[in-house]
């Protein structure tokens, strides 16, 4: 009878399934708390009622099925596969033993597999389709680290919105982004995927990206579910090596690692993803302190937690579980709600429940969380809502998406150095020579985590500059990589073939300006792409120095996915532009900045080291007992023998084609009255062109219960000024800005002296202080 009555019947013109009608009726006569006519309370009560009603219809195996995610394993528009594993997974979908699919994309494929779930399974519960939409779906925006360099929260949110729009048009309704891991180690390849080293900036960008992906209404056809990852401390791997252990104190955990995750939760993110690392000896996937105590209890997170790829099974090689059965038990009891591709939940959990080793309440809680997100997406109203061929055709790669990628790319560029106003280039100057294999590369600028981007689809620097000078002279120089690169393979760097060297040097001799495009290939950063050295890979440093010997008027354009240690370049090259990997519109954005049609305003979200030996290096470190050199011949203080302590470029650094002047820093202490400190500073554009400045506010708590950093970012504003225009910039600090977490996770705000710093980078010397009293 259940099969006949409640099995929904769907079609291309599907509206509401019989199951959904039943679920709606289950809440009609229930008492709902209408306190203060709060629509959110009403909606949550309605959803909870629907979820509970559906849960009562499900068998234990069907519940566990919702906790199971499979990777795409076949062409769903083709015949049923013959392979044993693929056939098993296909049958599991028909049996209702799958809650989500990973890497199934495109309207036809998504519709085909969704049809199996909703038309052939007993209860017809729709699937949610996940994909790594990190900085775009088909059209690539800049890598996330580059977007963070914009410090433009509206632009970052818009970039995520456009990525969601493009992905949703292809049937995707869940992205495994944003990565909100704070990291201080440029050796770690995944710094390209985050927002850098600072928890305040990282928190603001986390909120912007969540809001961009999810919008105001998850049921909107252009919204997709966001996922805050990797929970937690994944950005602190020992030696900067991917998947390595993390070893950090609770002060760092509470004050640096967790804030962006809390910000994502406060912004309404519906899913979290585990990290691969251990924390205090407990792998994150089975860490009930993280998942139960903090996330689900203290923070009251209402969505669900998904494992990272196979991380439940990896509890065994971690040495935390003796076998897969124990791994499934440990992960489920700790609070991991969905198993990504280890197959352990679907194979082991039913037996664990029946043996009493996993409580059925644990299963029910996980399934409720998953089903509620599906209801919020509107999948029970229309499981094919993301399957519109016309939208797929019109949205993907559209003019709106491309223009958004260009806008984000422009705002992500950081001018690191510009001696003698070598930039912007003179448009009338015909003797500009462009050199470097990366200058004509149309693939590397797409960066890593490029989703479905078409290889060689980016606008190259050469193409962008040819829009300004179609006769520009280009010399490729030596190759950066050996052979063709592929997403899943290591990039082999050329360190021996000097073909093209002499041609490049000869071409540079008679140029008025040489534009050298150097850096990393787009696939040298990302997951599994750690580096032990941070210089220019391969033969590029030699090329730079050899060109310098014949022409010192060099503009160095850096393509990279992480901070690089390039002290020789900083010392000798007059103009250096950090352009990262900017995505599909890379060359157009770079050319606009080089020729002055766009005034760069980006600021570094990570510190650039002088040497890899300084790593991890970050601006918000803490003082030691011996921080300074007391006398010229004193050796016993915190320093290196071979390089200074300070970095190559500090966090927050970035120049402009105009000059900004700061003056009249004022502090109004009203903390005893309205619990706020008002800080003002006057900013003037004293240079020759219109420009934007990121005004940054830092504080220092002079003494406290737990030692605080030398500087902490607590506010920033992006100010756009005409030539000679001035503006008063106002900040307000509250207890939330002045306090911190102690080593047990308790919030404190100490009385005492606070120093305030305002300026265009973390190295600002404009400062004053106030005394906080209670």
Nearest to residue 728, comparing CAs of 678, 670, 669, 664? 664
3-state secondary structure of 418: strand
Cα 674 to Cα 667: distance, rounded to the nearest angstrom:
14
Cα 331 to Cα 350: distance, rounded to the nearest angstrom:
14
Cα 602 to Cα 590: distance, rounded to the nearest angstrom:
13
**Residues linked to residue 759 through DSSP beta bridges, in sequence order:** 696
Q: What is the gyration radius of the CA atoms in the chain, in angstroms?
A: 27
472 CA to centre of own chain:
36
* Class of residue 628 by CB neighbours under 10 A (exposed 0-12, middle 13-18, buried 19+): exposed
Nearest to residue 492, comparing CAs of 517, 518, 458, 524? 524
Q: Where are the beta strands (DSSP E) in 563-659?
A: 575-578
Question: How many CA atoms, within 13 angstroms, populate the side-chain half-sphere of residue 187?
Answer: 19
Cα 661 to Cα 687: distance, rounded to the nearest angstrom:
9
Sheet holding 227-231, edge to edge: 227-231, 271-274, 304-306
423 CA to centre of own chain:
31
Sheet holding 767-772, edge to edge: 712-721, 691-701, 752-759, 767-772
Q: Among the residues of 105-177, which ranges form H helices?
A: 107-120, 144-148, 153-169
Cα 413 to Cα 436: distance, rounded to the nearest angstrom:
19
Burial 96-133, CB ≥16 within 10 A → b, else e: bbbbbbbebbbbebbbbbbbbbbeebbbbbbbbbbbbb
DSSP letter at 567 equals: H
* Class of residue 354 by CB neighbours under 10 A (exposed 0-12, middle 13-18, buried 19+): exposed
Cα 344 to Cα 272: distance, rounded to the nearest angstrom:
19
Please report, in angstroms and rounded to a whole number, the separation of the first and last CA atoms in the chain: 69
Asked whether 227 and 233 are in contact (CB, 8 A), the reply is no
380 CA to centre of own chain:
30
Asked whether 543 and 500 are in contact (CB, 8 A), the reply is no
Sign of CA dihedral 65, 67, 69, 70: negative
Place of tokens 């470029």: 649
Nearest to residue 677, comparing CAs of 588, 589, 584, 771? 771
Among the listed residues 308, 337, 339, 701, the single catalytic one is 308
Q: Is residue 41 within a helix (H) or strand (E), and if so which, with residue range? A: helix 39-57
Cα 194 to Cα 65: distance, rounded to the nearest angstrom:
32
| Residue 308 known to be catalytic | yes
**Residues linked to residue 721 through DSSP beta bridges, in sequence order:** 691
Pair of tokens at residue 763: 């190295």
Asked whether 670 and 677 are in contact (CB, 8 A), the reply is yes
* Class of residue 704 by CB neighbours under 10 A (exposed 0-12, middle 13-18, buried 19+): middle
Cα 22 to Cα 367: distance, rounded to the nearest angstrom:
19
Pair of tokens at residue 92: 């599991």
List, by residue number, the catalytic residues: 308
């Amino acid at each position: 009878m259940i099969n006949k009555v409640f099995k929904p019947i769907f079609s291309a013109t599907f509206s509401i399934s019989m199951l959904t009608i039943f679920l709606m009726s289950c809440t009609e006569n229930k008492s709902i708390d209408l306190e203060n006519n709060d629509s959110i309370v009403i909606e949550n009560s309605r959803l909870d009622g629907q979820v509970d009603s559906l849960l009562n219809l499900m068998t234990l195996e069907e519940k566990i099925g919702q906790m199971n995610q499979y990777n795409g394993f076949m062409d769903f528009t083709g015949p049923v596969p013959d392979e044993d594993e693929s056939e098993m997974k296909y049958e599991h979908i028909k049996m209702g033993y799958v809650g989500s699919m990973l890497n199934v994309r495109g309207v036809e494929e998504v519709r085909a597999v969704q049809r199996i779930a909703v038309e052939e399974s007993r209860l017809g519960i729709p699937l949610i389709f996940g994909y790594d939409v990190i900085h775009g779906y088909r059209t690539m925006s800049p890598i996330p680290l580059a977007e963070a360099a914009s410090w433009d929260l509206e632009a970052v949110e818009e970039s995520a919105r456009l990525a969601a729009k493009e992905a949703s048009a292809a049937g995707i309704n869940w992205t495994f982004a944003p990565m909100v891991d704070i990291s201080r180690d440029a050796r770690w390849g995944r710094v390209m995927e985050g927002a850098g080293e600072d928890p305040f900036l990282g928190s603001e960008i986390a909120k912007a990206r969540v809001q961009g992906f999810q919008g105001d209404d998850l049921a909107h056809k252009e919204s997709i579910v966001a996922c805050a990852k990797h929970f937690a401390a994944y950005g602190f791997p020992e030696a900067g090596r991917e998947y390595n252990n993390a070893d950090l104190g609770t002060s760092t955990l509470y004050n640096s690692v967790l804030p962006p995750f809390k910000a994502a939760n406060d912004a309404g993110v519906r899913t979290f993803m585990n990290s691969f690392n251990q924390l205090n000896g407990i792998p994150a996937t089975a860490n009930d302190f993280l998942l139960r105590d903090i996330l689900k209890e203290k923070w009251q997170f209402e969505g669900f937690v998904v494992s990272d790829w196979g991380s439940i099974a990896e509890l065994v090689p971690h040495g935390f579980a003796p076998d897969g059965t124990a791994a499934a038990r440990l992960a489920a009891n700790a609070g991991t709600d969905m198993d990504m591709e280890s197959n352990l939940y679907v194979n082991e959990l039913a037996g664990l429940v029946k043996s009493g080793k996993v409580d059925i309440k644990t299963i029910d809680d996980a399934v409720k969380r998953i089903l509620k997100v599906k209801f919020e997406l509107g999948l029970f109203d229309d499981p094919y809502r993301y399957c519109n061929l016309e939208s797929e055709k019109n949205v993907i790669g559209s003019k709106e998406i491309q223009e958004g990628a260009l806008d984000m790319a422009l705002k992500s560029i950081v001018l690191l150095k510009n001696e003698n106003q070598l930039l912007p280039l003179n448009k009338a100057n015909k003797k500009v020579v462009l050199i470097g294999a990366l200058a004509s590369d149309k693939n590397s600028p797409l960066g890593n985590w490029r989703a479905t981007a078409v290889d060689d689809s980016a606008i190259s620097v050469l193409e962008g500059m040819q829009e300004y000078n179609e006769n520009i002279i280009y010399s490729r120089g030596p190759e950066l990589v050996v052979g063709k690169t592929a997403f899943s393979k290591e990039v082999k760097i050329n360190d021996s073939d000097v073909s093209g060297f002499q041609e490049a040097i000869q071409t540079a001799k008679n140029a008025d300006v040489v534009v050298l495009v150097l850096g990393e290939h787009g696939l040298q950063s990302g997951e599994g792409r750690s580096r032990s050295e941070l210089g220019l890979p391969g033969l590029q440093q030699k090329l730079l120095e050899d060109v310098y010997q014949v022409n010192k008027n060099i503009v160095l354009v850096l393509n990279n996915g992480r901070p690089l240690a390039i002290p020789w370049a900083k010392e000798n090259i007059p103009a250096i532009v950090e352009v990262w990997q900017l995505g599909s519109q890379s060359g157009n954005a770079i050319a606009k900045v080089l020729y002055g049609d766009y005034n760069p305003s980006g600021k570094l979200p990570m510190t650039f080291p002088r040497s890899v030996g300084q790593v991890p290096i970050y601006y918000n470190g803490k003082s030691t007992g011996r921080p300074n050199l007391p006398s010229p011949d004193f050796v016993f203080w915190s320093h290196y023998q071979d390089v200074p302590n300070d970095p190559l470029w500090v966090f927050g650094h970035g120049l402009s084609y105009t000059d900004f002047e700061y003056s009249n820093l004022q502090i109004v202490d009203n903390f005893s009255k309205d619990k706020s400190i008002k800080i003002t500073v006057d900013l003037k554009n004293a240079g020759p062109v219109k420009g934007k400045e990121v005004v940054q506010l830092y504080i220092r708590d002079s003494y406290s219960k737990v030692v605080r950093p030398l500087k902490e970012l607590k506010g920033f504003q992006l100010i756009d000024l005409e030539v000679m225009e001035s503006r008063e910039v106002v900040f307000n600090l509250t207890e939330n800005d002045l306090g911190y977490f102690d080593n047990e996770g308790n919030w404190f705000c100490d009385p005492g002296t606070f120093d305030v710093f305002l300026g265009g980078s973390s190295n600002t010397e404009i400062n004053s202080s106030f005394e906080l009293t209670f």
